[in-house]
Amino acid sequence: MKFTIPLIPKAQKRARSAAVNRGGKFFSVTYKDEAQELAEEKLITFLIKYRPEILFDGPILLGVKAYLPIPKSKPKKFKASALAGEIRPTTKPDLDNLLKHLKDCCKGIFWLDDKQVVGYLPETGKYYGTPARWEIEIREMG
């Protein structure tokens, strides 16, 4: 299964924690950043359109090309090289965090749990592209 999501790829952010006073006792509470929740909701809205009738329940190979926007401040030569695939993003977000965000959003839509992803397809990585987007491929093993 292959599909494209027309959103700027976002990375998984770290969970936040805070001390909360309840009845004179302090508790530690962990929560997601509001921007993280919004990014997840947007991505899930697009992913649901490609949901299979039955969730994958075995091992999965995942292919992800995260096309990031080309910085506007870069010269034309850089932009041309970036679009040709000669220059790849080495800035944040990290590829690991991009994949984590996507895999978390896919849970319950394509597969039961992230642990089912046993490998990544060739060409998985960060690229520059216009428009910015996710290109996703999911393959069942066996």
CATH code of 73's domain = 3.30.1330.70
Residue 134 confidence (pLDDT) above 70: yes
The pLDDT tens digits of the residues spanning 66-91 come to: 999 999 999 999 999 999 999 999 99
Q: Structural domain of residue 73, as residue ranges?
A: 2-140
Angstrom distance (rounded) from CA 8 to CA 129: 10
Model confidence pLDDT, tens digit, residues 86-107 = 999 999 999 999 999 999 999 9
- C-alpha distances (whole Å) from 120 to each of 24, 25, 50, 81, 126 are 49, 46, 19, 26, 13
What is the mean predicted confidence (pLDDT) over 39-62?
A: 96
**Alpha helices (H) in 5-116, listed in sequence order:** 34-47, 76-83, 95-106
Mean pLDDT in the chain? 92
Q: State the total domains in the chain.
A: 1
Q: Please tell me the predicted confidence (pLDDT) of residue 135.
A: 98
The set of long-range contacts for 23-26, using a CB threshold of 8 Å and a minimum separation of 24, is none
